[in-house]
Chains A and B, each alone.
Chain A
């Protein structure tokens, strides 16, 4: 899906300061070397299996299926990975790559804190220094994850600029990288930013769809009819979609955070409300005003609260291969509670956006059809915030 210039159709590219150009070129060369290196791949597979707990389960949600009365529903349980989300798949790959490149320090941005926790974890495991940038607003929403990162030995820097959320954390991590390149790898957490990040992160996350395909063949002997995943930057979604892109009969559905609704300004649904632009190193769709100023987006989910979307998703949208649907805070919170009670699985509020859309979609499908929902992470981190949303104040 990638061409040599890091473009997905018209999207992607490398819109970054000259200071970083040799760093991304060096990264691309190293990645192109190691991705075909059997020793590197053996080492990464061992880490994914023995340390992160892969393969993750593909679970048949019997009660949910019966309750909705339509398509059979399977859950891809990325929430069962070590550190509780899909983020570890990418981080183990990038940390190993950084180590091979001779880097001793990892920096990362984080929204919900899951990518920050995963990076801090990999840094601890591999004996590397770790600094995580997190919007100050998010450090409040996700206080537990801030503590987890510190416990793992990372330094967490609250970012106060702009809206003090994920986009500002990305900007600050990019600024930090320009000031210290020789020993530092920027471990970007999603399929965004300048080439080669969207490709590297996609490749490391594509293990999700490879496993779904194998597991579903074993259980059902066939392909799914639809694959659903939530989309902020879009890493768990592209990971869930990737090996199905060539299977034209499989619907690929990305669920965006609509916040208080796509007809309000308090939304983060980029595909549904944004337009083409250039930001954070890439050409893609962004929520922005008429003069190209990036919009202050909103979602209850810190992990989806981002004004852009990865360039490969923008491309899949352009060619009509994937659909991107908006899901509101209310729908996501309902789904968070629904999956908890129905299946005894507390999903991350991010993943609950995909569950919410499945609740609408499944009843309209036949009983012999199959939906796979990627549960990108576990919801423990969200319990206090959801309780507050429901007017209940609990101590974490």
Chain B
């Protein structure tokens, strides 16, 4: 059992996604601190992958910039360890199965515990394959966070019953990226989730405006925002942290 629950203890949670090393780790550190100071409740740190199949063009771009900048899993571990000196809110890694598998599952997950990472989000690890990493997650007290999609239907209850940390409800079909409209009947999905688990449920994919965040968090326990933050990094580069701080404040204010 990790520290993730605390992110949802004080009203609706705002969860910010940032790719490590985009464009460099110094900027990532400043961006994380800006998000935390302005009210983010949980930070999702992306470990870049060469072929991120669940990402839209914006986060693909972040992965590419980060890898071109030379960031590696080991550099990210050292970076998180340093960040943990002052960042106290829960942090999770978002990456792809091969990044963990290649590093060695036990070696990777035990390092997560050592540096203070609370959970893992792996978009290419569905319920049927979670045994790949789950035994080590349990051994080292790192939550393996499950995703539920608009197409999950008869699978929602099964996934929710075994969920840990929080449930990541994917708002729409397709890959990550901002959307002008979210049309999935999320209320009915959340209803089935609630019948099967007490752990919090946050909605992500496609959220960029305070109005959307308020609406999505209203249906659940929080809103997850990635591409909209990455766009600021794409636009402002090393100057992005100040813009990210202001953006996170506007989003968190909408959730209060």
Contact = CB atoms under 8 A, between A and B. Distances in A.
B126 interface: yes
Contacts of B134: none
B50 interface: yes
Q: By DSSP majority rule, is chain A's interface helix, strand, loop, or mixed?
A: mixed
Contacts of B173: 19, 178-181
A17 B149 contact: yes
A303 interface: no
Interface stretch (B33-41, B150-158, B207-215, B240-248): B150-158
B51 A17 contact: no
B152 A22 contact: yes
Contact of A291 (B103, B153, B159): B103
A290 B99 CA distance: 9
Nearest to B172: A179
Contact of A277 (B98, B126, B147, B150): B98
B60 A15 contact: no
B73 A18 contact: no
B51 A18 contact: no
Interface string B88-119: 00000000111111110000000000000000
A40 to B, nearest CB: 26
A277 B127 contact: no
A19 B101 contact: no
A279 B98 contact: yes
A101 to B, nearest CB: 15
Contact of A21 (B72, B126, B174): B126
B124 interface: yes
B98 A292 contact: yes
B126 A278 contact: no
A376 interface: no
A175 B53 contact: yes
Interface in A1-59: 5, 13-23
Contacts of B97: 15, 278
B128 A21 contact: yes
Contact of A181 (B72, B123, B151): B151
A174 B174 CA distance: 9
B149 A174 contact: no
Interface residues of A, number: 36
A168 interface: yes
Interface string A287-330: 01011111000000000000000000000000000000000000
A288 B170 contact: no
A19 B51 contact: no
A280 interface: yes
B123 A17 contact: yes
Interface in B122-157: 123-129, 132, 146-155
Given A21-B128, A281-B124, A294 B51 contact: yes
Nearest to B128: A14
A18 B148 contact: yes
A185 interface: no
B67 interface: yes
A350 B205 CA distance: 40
B126 A14 contact: yes
Contacts of A175: 53-54, 56, 174-175
Nearest to A5: B128
Given A178-B173, A280-B53, A294-B50, A21 B150 contact: no
Given A18-B170, A178-B174, A168 B149 contact: no
B49 interface: yes
Interface in A154-206: 161-162, 167-168, 171, 174-175, 178-181
Nearest to B55: A175
Given A162-B51, A178-B173, A293-B50, A21 B152 contact: yes
Interface in A344-383: none
B149 A18 contact: yes
Contact of A278 (B50, B101, B151): B101
A243 to B, nearest CB: 30
A161 B97 CA distance: 20
Contacts of A20: 151
A282 to B, nearest CB: 10
Contacts of B98: 277-279, 286, 288, 292, 294
| Most central of B49, B60, B96, B151 by chain A CB within 10 Å | B151
19 contacts: A14-B126, A14-B129, A15-B97, A16-B126, A17-B54, A18-B127, A18-B149, A18-B152, A18-B155, A162-B51, A171-B53, A175-B53, A175-B54, A175-B56, A180-B173, A277-B98, A278-B96, A291-B73, A291-B103
Given A174-B53, A179-B174, A278-B124, 15 more contacts: A15-B126, A17-B123, A18-B123, A18-B151, A19-B170, A19-B173, A19-B174, A22-B152, A175-B53, A180-B174, A278-B97, A279-B51, A288-B98, A293-B67, A294-B51
Q: Which 8 A-B pairs have the closest CB atoms?
A: A292-B102, A179-B174, A19-B149, A293-B50, A292-B98, A278-B97, A18-B149, A294-B50
